[in-house]
Amino acid sequence: MKTSIETLRLGAQQTLDELFAQRLIPFALSARAVESLGLEEYIVRFHDARLHSVDVSWPEGRSFEEMVRAAVLDRVSRLSYPGQREAPVRHQREQSML
């Protein structure tokens, strides 16, 4: 059975909503479209200026939502944006005690 693109978009949106509700991403995202790029490769496009899209590899045996979650978390972790909190800087003495 083939999964429709609209079903994939809805699954991606549900995943995005969960990530935002769990505060795992700093802003809400809206899945505008899902496009197939080839065998097991998709792009999820967003309505957001900070993050336009993510590429999603979807290997057989894995859930699409699981792969969207991983792709979004990875991509957001590499973003820099106004208001982003920087990681705390440890003093040299504190680091040597670790």
Using CA atoms, how far apart are residues 51 and 79, in angstroms rounded to an integer? 8
Does residue 98 belong to any structural domain of this protein? no
Does residue 95 belong to any structural domain of this protein? no
pLDDT in tens, 16-29: 999 999 999 999 99
pLDDT in tens, 38-75: 999 999 999 999 999 999 999 999 999 999 999 999 99
The label of the residue with tokens 């979650």 reads 69
Domain count, the chain: 1
The tokens describing 37, both together, are 């790029």
- pTM given for the model: 0.78
Does residue 10 belong to any structural domain of this protein? yes
Q: Band the pLDDT of 80: cuts 50, 70, 90.
A: confident
Do 71 and 54 meet the contact criterion of CB atoms below 8 Å apart?
yes
Does residue 51 belong to any structural domain of this protein? yes
Per-residue confidence (pLDDT) for residue 90, from 0 to 100? 44
